[in-house]
Amino acid sequence: MDPISSIPTVTQREQWTVEEMVSEIYQLFSSVPHHAQTIMLELRRDQHIEFLTRGLRQLGPSFRVLDANRPWLCYWILHSIALLGESIFSDLENNSIDFLNRCQDPDGGYGGGPGQLPHLATTYAAVNALMTLGGQKALSSINRDKMRTFLLRMKDPSGGFRMHDGGEMDVRACYTAISVASVLNILDPELVENVGNYILSCQTYEGGIAGEPGSEAHGGYTFCGLATMILINESQRLDLRSLIDWVAFRQGVECGFQGRANKLVDGCYSFWQGAVFALIQRLNSIIVEQLRALDVGGSLSWRSICTGAASNLSEGECGSDVKSYQTDERFHAKQKEFSDIGLNFIKIPAELGPLFHSVALQQYILLCSQVQDGGFRDKPGKHRDYYHTCYCLSGLAVCQYSWCKDADSPPLPKAVLGPHSNLLEPIHPLFNVVLHRYYEAHNFFMGS
Ligand SMILES: CC(C)=CCC/C(C)=C/CC/C(C)=C/COP(=O)(O)OP(=O)(O)O
Ligand SMILES: [Zn+2]
């Protein structure tokens, strides 16, 4: 008999608030004996794999649901399987590579399906999916020269990127473009020009980062903005103190994260907000420097320090005069520096512990977001889907490794909630791919 069926389930009611649902789940949890608690906290590996594999098989030619999102579905499913430490059958692997290749535009980038216009979001998803598959066939299928042309075409003179030809410009577009360029080793000063200025203009008075200037700070964009700034070596230009303040207050009494102030918690923010902490943990030296500058500045705000005495922080360093020095040694030196940022970043020891309650977040993911039949959801009462499965598992991995100083070392048992079999593969928090596949892609593209 499946042991989970011996656990009492939460009674269904007509009108539930999230707080009521979650508090009922926690009450139920605390009222059962220890062995039953362990069962409730177990990661339902077999059920997740079954749900994920079924989804991958359905992505065949007859699949029409979310037709403009198929590279995303590939990435969400393949990354979830990789996080669980499983591999897929070679027919599914070959089909996925062939399918993604058919989404590749002859002029660079990937569309939402074969023959569709290339889009930065599906380009990021396709590249991450191929990185997650790994191996010569998957990695060499990406046309890097054409990709660079596509990324430059999406670039706006203001520094931002557009999601597609004539499309919207936002922080997501900057992140997807810069992330792809970084892993493919095609990031250069021309792509980076003014990106930092654009992201900086999206950091709000609250401390988090908005999708575009003047909008509200949000976890999804805060992750994208911070990761972009790190990848272009300009994270020191953000006000990290207020960013940390903002993100630290996003963990709710339900133990999960909300995406923005006064909104409900949602399992997917376990990654978008959780990974912001994973990035911050490796920015210790910059944070210390910023705090010292604030201390010296007395009542001065970070922005006034940034635009005044501390303006030697790399503002405009790679911004101005890019074209005139493209043939110059400095251009190539900068290009070389960009290619190492992702790798160097993950090698920095995490001097800071996690600045959120990592065990409480695991509790929310396992008890409230996990669906017993496989897959994860936003919150109790919602349906499971592949997006939430990917980002709940990614957030769970962030939590489990959040006390590891060294990204490659296994976590202490007390950092992993539930049985130790819950342990997932570690990820690279700048790209959200499993770490060993990132290393493989980095080596592959360094040599090309
Ligand atoms: C790489 C990539 C494509 C990143 C995307 C990042 C991301 C998740 C952005 C969030 C977008 C957004 C404003 C959602 C709000 O939705 P809502 O109002 O339904 O949700 P809320 O109530 O939780 O804010
Ligand atoms: Zn969500």
CA–CA dist 448, 445 (Å, integer): 5
The owner of tokens 């705000």 is 301
CA–CA dist 232, 325 (Å, integer): 18
Catalytic residue from among 124, 269, 364, 438: 269
CA–CA dist 175, 260 (Å, integer): 19
pLDDT of residue 325: 57
Catalytic residue from among 172, 260, 282, 384: 260
Regions of the chain with pLDDT less than 50: 1-3, 308-322
Nearest CA residue ID for atom 19, ligand 1: 259
Q: Which residues contact 12 (CB under 8 A, 6 or more apart)?
A: none
CA–CA dist 68, 212 (Å, integer): 24
How far does Cα 121 stand from its chain's mean position? 13
Could you tell me where the beta strands, DSSP code E, fall in 282-344?
none
Q: How far apart, in Å, do the first and last CA atoms of the chain sit?
A: 53
CA–CA dist 384, 219 (Å, integer): 21
Q: Is the CB–ligand 1 distance for residue 388 below 6 Å?
A: no
CA–CA dist 219, 261 (Å, integer): 10
Q: Is the CB–ligand 1 distance for residue 175 below 6 Å?
A: yes
pLDDT of residue 352: 87
- Residue pair 397/404 in contact (Cβ under 8 Å)? The answer is no
CA–CA dist 275, 403 (Å, integer): 13
Q: Is the CB–ligand 1 distance for residue 425 below 6 Å?
A: no
Read off the DSSP letter of residue 402.
T
Write out pLDDT tens, residues 366-410. 999 999 999 999 999 999 999 999 999 999 999 999 999 999 999
Residue of 135, 147, 63, 62 whose CA lies nearest to 94? 135
In the numeric block, which tokens belong to residue 355? 């600045």
For residue 388, the CA-to-ligand 2 centroid distance in Å is: 6
Domains and CATH numbers, the chain: 61-356+432-446 (1.50.10.20)
> If residue 310 lies in a helix (H) or strand (E), which one and from where to where?
none
pLDDT of residue 319: 39
Q: In the annotation, is 245 catalytic? A: no
Q: Is the CB–ligand 1 distance for residue 272 below 6 Å?
A: yes
Q: Which residues contact 165 (CB under 8 A, 6 or more apart)?
A: 117, 153, 154
For residue 385, the CA-to-ligand 2 centroid distance in Å is: 10
